[in-house]
Every structure is written in structure tokens, then in C-alpha cells.
Amino acid sequence: MKADEIKNVTVVGAGLMGSGIAQEFAAAGYPVTLHDASEASFNIAIGRIKSNLILLNEFGLVTTEQLESIPAAIHTTADFQRAVANADLVVEAVVEDIDIKRTVFTELDKYCPERTILTSTTSTIKPETLASATHRPDRVVVTHFGIPNYLIPLVEMARSPETSDETVNTVYQVLQNMGKRPIVMKKAMTGFIVNRLQMAMLREAMNLVGQDAVTPEDIDIAVQNNFGLRLAISGPLEVFDMAGLNTLQSVYSYIMPELSNSTDIPAPIAEAVERGDFGLATGKGLYDWTPESADELRLRVLGGLAEAAKRRQAS
């Protein structure tokens, strides 16, 4: 299928990721069917979408008319066969569990029209693992959206060895038409790009905290007030070229031998999880959170992302 032939989109999974993706497709003018096994989940999903849109309206990113038109373009159903019966493109957004996702892909392959392209929002699973659960591996591709996906432009695409060029090109163009910034990995790697880079930084951050060299606050202040400022403007490899690879080579040789290469879960994280301290949701994680400080962080992050979105729109 070509991008202009994609008329009907189905999102399977009405959680945080799935509802946001349904919102994005509806905002781009696609009729969307949102499926979940639980009817009760739809009230939560549509309520979340409406809250997102109110916030985006306050930031000047959606119109007053869109507050009604976007939710109106999303049809919900707990009937799986009905949800996918006329889909041109399906986005799977269920829990990050290989067995569950493979089961969903087997069912999608069974009930979707032959033309349908199947995508997954997985953040870690290689596309061939999902494609092999179908009889249409040429029409399976990973599309990993960021969160909050209605403000994060990047979509990481990963193809299996059997994914066709037509499938990749079609999905890439659809994402571009939505205002997204897709990238296609030359070779699918577990965790893709963003999670691999984030986990590498997290490992060293927690190594420093675990050695009592710094506090979590020190880590965040350092990133926010140094290279984090640059990374919002230019990528790390551009920065390294600007600094000079000869300088980088010297620094690399000094620092790399002392960086952590542990594959164990960092002790501060493992201990917090064992205590049931998961972060904002429980009021304690690497920081202590009050309802007020948690709301301040959420609004600070969303506000910063919204300002960046407005700059992109203006450019």
C-alpha cells in the first residue's frame, strides 16, 4: 500500500501509549478505531485524550474546534474482529510482553485484511520476533513513539530482514504527514536508539550515585545546566565533531576505563523497587515527591516540550 491509500487506522491497546497515538492519528485527520479488551478502559482513555487536548489548547497547539473534532474521530470497541476488519494500518500498543505481543500479532494476521500493515510500539523487541508470528512479515514494522507522544516528534522505525521497502516507505510517509520525525534503523538492535542511549547514561549516573560521589540532584543539575542544553540544539555526534575528534580521542582514553560496564540493576534502583518506591506514582523514588512537586515536574516537562513544538511549527 501507498501512504495515500491509508484511510483507516486501528490502535490496539487503550493505555497511555495507545490513547496518545490514537489522538495523534485523529489530529492528523485519520478516522481511528481504538480497541481494548476492557470497555472500562475507554472512559479513561478518552478522558486522558480530552485532558491532553485541553493542555495543548492552553499551549496554543490545538484549536478550540479540535477539542471536539479529535475525540469525535476516535471510535472505540472491545470487539477485536470488528476493530480491525477494515484497517489499512494497525498500531499495536499493548503491554511490553513478548508472548502477549506475539499473540496479538497472530490474531491481527488472522483477522486483518491482506493489505493491512501491522506496526508495533515496542521499545525493546526486535521486529522479526513479531513478524514471525504472522504470515505477512513483509508488512510488519516497529514504530516506537516517545512519551508523551503528542509532544515528542521522534518515531523510531525498525524493520525485520523481511520487511518490504514499500511497507517502510509507506509508514515513513504517513508519519511525516502526521508531523512526526521518523528515522529508520539500518539494523534493528534491542532497545533501538533512544533506550540504548538513555540506559547507557543511566548506568553511569547510577554508578556515580552508588559510589556516593554525587547525589541524584547533582546528576540532574549537571545535565540540565551543561550538555543537556546543547543536546536540545545539536546531537552528540555533531558536538563531538565541533569539539574535535582528536580532543575526544584523548578524553575517551582517560575516562572510558573507569566507566561502569555492569549489567546488574543498579542497587539504588533495585532497593527502591523492593521497597515499593517507584517514583512519582508512589511519592518516593530517587527523590521524595509531594503531590505539588510531582505536578510541578509534569507541567515543567510538558511546558518545555510544548514550547519546543511551537518553535518547530514556526520554523
169 and 199 part of one domain? no
Which one, of 177, 130, 168, lies nearest residue 12 by Cα?
130
124 and 232 part of one domain? no
Identify the CATH number of the domain in which residue 103 sits: 3.40.50.720
**Grid coordinates belonging to 166:** 514499500
Please give the pLDDT value at position 315.
76
Q: Which of 121, 156, 184 is the last residue of a domain?
A: 184
Q: Which of 184, 219, 239 is the last residue of a domain?
A: 184
9 and 157 part of one domain? yes
In a domain, 278, yes or no: yes
In a domain, 190, yes or no: no
Please give the pLDDT value at position 61.
94
The total domain count for the chain is 2
116 and 201 part of one domain? no
208 and 90 part of one domain? no
Residue-wise pLDDT tens digits, 5-15: 999 999 999 99
157 and 125 part of one domain? yes
Residue-wise pLDDT tens digits, 293-311: 999 999 999 999 999 998 8
Phi and psi angles of residue 4, each rounded to the nearest 5 degrees, phi first: -75, -5
Which one, of 217, 198, 196, 229, lies nearest residue 285 by Cα?
217
Q: Which of 184, 206, 221 is the last residue of a domain?
A: 184
Q: What is the mean pLDDT of residues 96-102?
A: 95
Identify the CATH number of the domain in which residue 301 sits: 1.10.1040.10
Return the SS3 of 195. helix
Predicted confidence (pLDDT) at residue 1 exceeds the cutoff of 90: no
Please give the pLDDT value at position 76.
96
Please give the pLDDT value at position 218.
96
Please give the pLDDT value at position 18.
96
Residue-wise pLDDT tens digits, 251-297: 999 999 999 999 999 999 999 999 999 999 999 999 999 999 999 99
Q: What is the mean pLDDT of residues 239-256?
A: 92
The CA distance from 137 to 135, in Å, is 6
Please give the pLDDT value at position 314.
80
pTM (predicted TM-score) = 0.91
Please give the pLDDT value at position 312.
85
165 and 245 part of one domain? no
In a domain, 91, yes or no: yes
Lowest mean pLDDT among 30-34, 108-112, 186-190, 272-276: 186-190
In a domain, 42, yes or no: yes
Q: What residue numbers bound the domain in which 13 lies?
A: 3-184
Torsion angle of the four alpha carbons 239, 188, 124, 55, in this order, in degrees rounded to the nearest 10:
60
The CA distance from 233 to 48, in Å, is 31
In a domain, 254, yes or no: yes
Predicted confidence (pLDDT) at residue 40 exceeds the cutoff of 80: yes
In a domain, 189, yes or no: no
Phi and psi angles of residue 51, each rounded to the nearest 5 degrees, phi first: -65, -40
121 and 80 part of one domain? yes
180 and 199 part of one domain? no
133 and 215 part of one domain? no
Please report, rounded to a whole number, the percentage of residues in the chain having pLDDT higher than 70: 100
Select the more confidently predicted residue: 182 or 190.
182
Q: Under 8 Å CB-to-CB from 262, ≥6 apart: which residues?
A: 203, 207
The CA distance from 209 to 206, in Å, is 5
157 and 225 part of one domain? no
Region class of 212: left (phi > 0), else alpha (psi between -120 and 50), else beta: left
**Grid coordinates belonging to 103:** 499473540
Residue-wise pLDDT tens digits, 195-229: 999 999 999 999 999 999 999 999 999 999 999 99
149 and 199 part of one domain? no
